[in-house]
Amino acid sequence: MGSLKARIVSVGTALPETIRDNFYFEKYLDTSDDWITQRTGIKTRHVWENPPVDANAQLGAKAAERALTKAGITATDVDTIICATFTPDQLMPSTAADIANKLGVKGAFAFDISAACSGFVFGLTMANSLLISGQSKRVLLIGSEVISRSVDWNDRGTCLLFGDGAGAVVLELSNSEAGILSAETYVDGSLGELLKLSLWGEDDHLEMNGKSVYRHAVTLMPEQVRRAMAKAEITIDDVDLLIPHQANARIIEKVGEELGIDPSKVIVNVDKYGNTSSATIPIALEETWEAGRIKENTIIAITALGGGITAGAAIIRF
């Protein structure tokens, strides 16, 4: 018997139908499939064209429904709904409140987390604490983004990097060996200008200093994983799979190299979805699970970096 911790019971995802390849951008921007492929590894991304006003909550609710079905429970079995997003449908009510409504849940503890691409790791850390403290009995954690609404489609430095999508996990308390072994989170607000989405004015689209964010990503993500491993008292040899935030295949490769993990253990799907921010890790988790790569006792390290600058990592035993 292990100590009490939160366990991921199931995962579900949702993606809008439209798939945009790199050639779409070649048509109107000074860019090429070659450049995008070589510098980012991205080939396609899902985009919700003409999204409804509640697109984010719709995507999040769809991913949540899939996770609930896989867990064999209904939405009313959940008492806590956390939505990590930086592209909410509105400032108020929260996306989590709308998702709860769409799922037919009333009375739950429901709120959004704003930690950009680190949102899923921050949410997982929060869910773990809520379950261990006894405040929550079952948590639905969702990462949902409609980033296409927030990019400047004429900025080649950002628009082609991102995609829309959502992923959700159901978490319960576990007293077995399985569960979240450790979690680390990090914020450096002095670096806020590097990646931001303003609310008002002419700059109300996503802006990024790509080179600088890149440099922080390749140092902070390995550092966060090392800290999480130390807390969980494991080494990189104990890690069966690394699921890093999917922003750029070169960043992912570098993070793997820094950690000294075999590339076959590093999950990469940025080629298909681009950067879906808080949704990248649950989307990759579902693909990995569906592919039969997650079994009892499999140890996964997740890590992310995003606007804030935020970063984090967690070690999870299945």
Q: Which residues are catalytic?
A: 117, 245, 275
217 binds ligand UT7 (CB under 6 A): yes
- Kindly determine how many residues on this chain lie close enough to bind ligand UT7 according to the rule CB under 6 A: 19
CB 76 within 8 A of CB 270: no
Please confirm whether the linkage preceding 93 is cis (ω < 30° from 0): yes
247 binds ligand UT7 (CB under 6 A): yes
CA distances in angstroms from 273 to 6, 47, 66, 96, 256, listed in the order given: 28, 9, 19, 23, 20
| DSSP state at residue 199 | S
Closest to ligand UT7 by CB, 173 or 255: 255
Measure the CA angle with vertex 241, ends 237 and 244; round to 5°.
115
d(CA 156, CA 206): 12
Closest to ligand UT7 by CB, 48 or 120: 120
Of 72-80, 120-128, 222-230, 246-254, the window that binds ligand UT7 (rule: CB under 6 A) is 246-254
121 binds ligand UT7 (CB under 6 A): no
The nearest distance, CB 151 to ligand UT7, in angstroms, is 12
Residue 265 CB partners (closer than 8 Å, separation 6+): 239, 240, 241, 242, 256
Residues 9-38 that bind ligand UT7 (CB under 6 A): 31, 35
Q: Are strands 241-244 and 109-113 parallel, antiparallel or unpaired?
A: unpaired
Of 73-81, 86-94, 211-219, 292-300, the window that binds ligand UT7 (rule: CB under 6 A) is 211-219
The nearest distance, CB 25 to ligand UT7, in angstroms, is 7
Applying CB under 6 A, the residues found at the interface with ligand UT7 are: 31, 35, 39-40, 117, 156-157, 160, 210-211, 213-214, 217, 247-248, 251, 275, 305-306
